[in-house]
Structure 1
Amino acid sequence: MFFSVIIPTYNRAHLILTTIKSVLAQSYTNYEIIVVDNASTDNTLEILQPYLAQANISLIAHPVNMERAVSRNAGFDAAKGGYVTLLDSDDVLYSNCLQDAYNYHTQNPTIHFYHCNFEYINEAGKVTHKGATHNVTNPFQTLAQGNYISNIGVFIKTEIAQNVRVDETPILIGTEDYDFVMRLLYKCKQIGYINKTNCAVLEHPQRTVITHDFELIEQRITYFVHKQINSNLFDGEYAPYKQDFIVNNYLYICGAAAIRQRTAKAFSYLFKAFVANPFVLFKIKFAHHFLVIIKYIIK
């Protein structure tokens, strides 16, 4: 078995079969599906029962909602395939996704972390917009400036995913993906890229979106920044981009404050970004955040 497709879910009975069927329709068939249910209160488990009779589909049922990080790690630990890929229970793979991923591996057997493009679709299946496409020359620099890797369409050697793991610290919820990708790159040293759009994120009214109040965002990003810069990540390949990392996260908090009309906080983090790297004053992103603050002052 080559791929383990890990599908964490919570109350997605009306959507999860579309997700599972998109995997079952793959042109490449050497895979397993691991569904990790987080104590759904709808009829998700009932919907899944007919599919669990198939040899390549298994279920991990948590007695309580363990959140995404725990669910993903549970999937990693249960995986029998050589590579794992994460798929939310309201997203889909296009039919050649796994075949193209396998072909990429056979052509690049020393690359253990790679991804393809994705797009956004509505409930009618119509493409609403494309996800960002990135074939970067310096992934360490690019990641220090912001997370450009989505969870969907990412393939990771199983033993590496099991070793790196998603951080289960509750305060990181909403930023655990960025943290995971940064540590994966540090471990793998390179990110492979398949320049094909092979999967889609479904936009729908119930889609989970992190909408924390400002204090929680500030705590989360502050924790994340301190965690990263005090780890060994910035002793290695990330080291030249430490200022970029700090500045971009300060600007993120600045923007979160601005749109909530927390003007004093917004200016405070804009100033912190300047102190971290005075040259940011000449960057478009600095001017952009300043204008966002002004926009919400006069709104």
Structure 2
Amino acid sequence: MNKNLLPRVSIIVPCYKVEQYLPTCIESVLHQSYDNWELILVDDGSPDKSGKICDEYAKEDNRIKVIHKTNGGVAAARNVAIDLAEGEYISFLDGDDFLHVDYVQDLISLALKHQAGIVQCNYVRGNDRIFPNVTKDLSVKVYNSHSIFTSDAAKIIVWGKLYKTNIVKNFKIPEGRFFEDDWITWRWYYSAKKIVVTSRPYYYYAYNEMSTMTQHKKRPNLSFIDAYNERITFFKQTAERDLEDCSYRQLCKALLLSYMNPMATKEQKQMILFKFSESWNEIRHSSVVSFKLKFSMGLFNIFPNIVTKLANIFLCAP
């Protein structure tokens, strides 16, 4: 295929307190095997040298654009870049993460082959600086806006995916909220006629003690409940009971994990149990919930503390 006819991909990177990770992140884009991309670096008022690092790289490659703005959070940083994105596809990369050399090449190939609105890949987690050689069976599956939810294949994270630009621009990321991924990714999935999922890992999620996701693990933040309530209400209004039940299923999983967090307060646990019981009663007989999940969630609904203790024992076992 003529390289000049290949679509441009806009890679958006919000940068805040990531100076020690950012060079690795940017270098992983510079070394992509696919070269028709633009990299939009958003310095979100970072107090460290992140902004300076962005500017230095932009001087060396005209495909790199830098936006400096006052701190407004990751959603606002991404939205500013979305408005300026010129690519036919958009991908999100966090400043403390990095990409496999074939990330763009292979995801764009799948998008074009299947005429997909979204392509989703797997990821690796750790503290490496070079993408590890992962030997794993490769599978590629194609879903529509319903089966991506009913199959439980949807990953409610914005990164590690390639999106048609119009999908992202039609539904901006809600700003000023925690768990913005929970608020927006389901809308992007639902608006895509076709979603391709590959099991091959192309995204490296670096474990960063200061990252937002890591900080939230210290004590459960239950604001994700509001995001799920909005999603459930939407599918209830559109009379899509299977997708409503899928949303309840995911909410129950998130509540169970939050209850298991040893930092959860007594008040939080009471709220979690109330919301779990309410949600579980909606789907206890649903066909979108597997027998295994019905058994474990039903048991948790009756004996939450016993299930939590058993789960912790198995998780801590060598």
> 1:113, 1:190 within 8 Å by CA — same for their partners in 2?
yes
> In the alignment, is residue 27 of structure 1 matched against residue 33 of structure 2?
yes
Residue 202 of structure 1: how far off its partner (Å): 1.1
What is the total number of aligned residue pairs between the two structures? 290
Indicate how the Cα distance of structure 1 residues 46 and 178 shifts in structure 2: closer, same or farther if over 3 A, else same.
Answer: same
Indicate how the Cα distance of structure 1 residues 166 and 136 shifts in structure 2: closer, same or farther if over 3 A, else same.
Answer: same
Unpaired segments ≥5 residues, structure 1:
none
- The correspondence for 1:294, drawn from 297, 303, 306, is 306
Unpaired segments ≥5 residues, structure 2:
1-6, 313-318
What are the residue-to-residue correspondences of 1:179-258 with 2, within 5 Å?
179-209=183-213, 210-211=216-217, 213-214=219-220, 216-217=221-222, 220-231=223-234, 233-236=235-238, 238-258=240-260
Which secondary structure does the structure 1 equivalent of 2:146 belong to?
A: helix
> 1:123, 1:203 within 8 Å by CA — same for their partners in 2?
no
TM (normalized to structure 2)?
0.78
What are the residue-to-residue correspondences of 1:30-49 with 2, within 5 Å?
30-49=36-55
> 1:121, 1:128 within 8 Å by CA — same for their partners in 2?
no
Distance in 1, matches of 2:142 and 2:239, equals: 15
> 2:156, 2:186 within 8 Å by CA — same for their partners in 1?
no
The residue number in structure 2 matching 1:61 is 68
The residue number in structure 1 matching 2:295 is 284
Distance in 2, matches of 1:226 and 1:211, equals: 22
TM (normalized to structure 1)?
0.82
The residue number in structure 2 matching 1:117 is 122
Distance in 2, matches of 1:160 and 1:266, equals: 33
Deviations 1:81-117 (A, max 9, x none): 1111000011111111111123223322x32211222
State which drifts further: 15-24 or 70-79.
70-79
> 2:43, 2:67 within 8 Å by CA — same for their partners in 1?
yes
Indicate how the Cα distance of structure 1 residues 50 and 251 shifts in structure 2: closer, same or farther if over 3 A, else same.
Answer: closer
> 1:3, 1:30 within 8 Å by CA — same for their partners in 2?
yes
Residue 78 of structure 1: how far off its partner (Å): 0.7
Q: Which amino acid aligns with 1:271?
A: S
Q: Which amino acid aligns with 1:240?
A: D
Distance in 1, matches of 2:53 and 2:46, equals: 12
> 1:255, 1:266 within 8 Å by CA — same for their partners in 2?
no
- The correspondence for 1:16, drawn from 9, 22, 27, is 22
Indicate how the Cα distance of structure 1 residues 295 and 117 shifts in structure 2: closer, same or farther if over 3 A, else same.
Answer: closer
Indicate how the Cα distance of structure 1 residues 160 and 266 shifts in structure 2: closer, same or farther if over 3 A, else same.
Answer: closer
Indicate how the Cα distance of structure 1 residues 238 and 58 shifts in structure 2: closer, same or farther if over 3 A, else same.
Answer: farther
State which drifts further: 202-211 or 77-86.
202-211
Distance in 2, matches of 1:261 and 1:76, equals: 38
Q: Which amino acid aligns with 2:119?
A: Y
> 1:255, 1:289 within 8 Å by CA — same for their partners in 2?
no
> 2:116, 2:195 within 8 Å by CA — same for their partners in 1?
yes
> In the alignment, is residue 155 of structure 1 matched against residue 166 of structure 2?
no
Distance in 1, matches of 2:182 and 2:134, equals: 22
Distance in 1, matches of 2:279 and 2:251, equals: 8
Residue 137 of structure 1: how far off its partner (Å): 5.0
> 1:111, 1:192 within 8 Å by CA — same for their partners in 2?
yes
Residue 16 of structure 1: how far off its partner (Å): 0.5
> 1:3, 1:85 within 8 Å by CA — same for their partners in 2?
yes
Residue 79 of structure 1: how far off its partner (Å): 0.6
RMSD, aligned α-carbons = 3.3
